Amino acid sequence: MHVYLHHENAWQLLIATILSAQCTDERVNMVTKDLFQKYTSLEDFANADLEELEQDIHSTGFYKNKAKNIIACAKRLITEFNGEVPK
């Protein structure tokens, strides 16, 4: 299976997948290009300022829920799964 969302690791794919709800893969890839340069680790996402992250992902739509869920997901992956996406 070919994944069309650009990513370098499992947590980037997870975040790109969250962003893809009601959004095209093309738009998500445009956003994640800069997003993954700004937030280079799960810790960066876990500690992100909610309003700033909302602005960073605004063009994907439903950005308020997506930003809240990305931060919560990053925190949970760190605290419950040692920073790894479960398989």
We report the CATH number of the domain holding residue 34 as: 1.10.340.30
**77 within some domain:** yes
**16 within some domain:** yes
pLDDT at 31 over 70: yes
- Which pLDDT value is given to residue 53? 99
pLDDT at 66 over 80: yes
- Which pLDDT value is given to residue 2? 65
Burial string for 17-33 (b: 16+ CB within 10 Å, else e) reads ebbbeebeeeebbebbe
**36 within some domain:** yes
Name the domain count of the chain. 1
**2 within some domain:** no
Q: Give the range of the structural domain holding residue 44, as residue numbers without chain letter.
A: 10-81
pTM value is: 0.94
Question: Do the Cβ atoms of 54 and 67 come closer than 8 Å?
Answer: yes
**87 within some domain:** no
**1 within some domain:** no
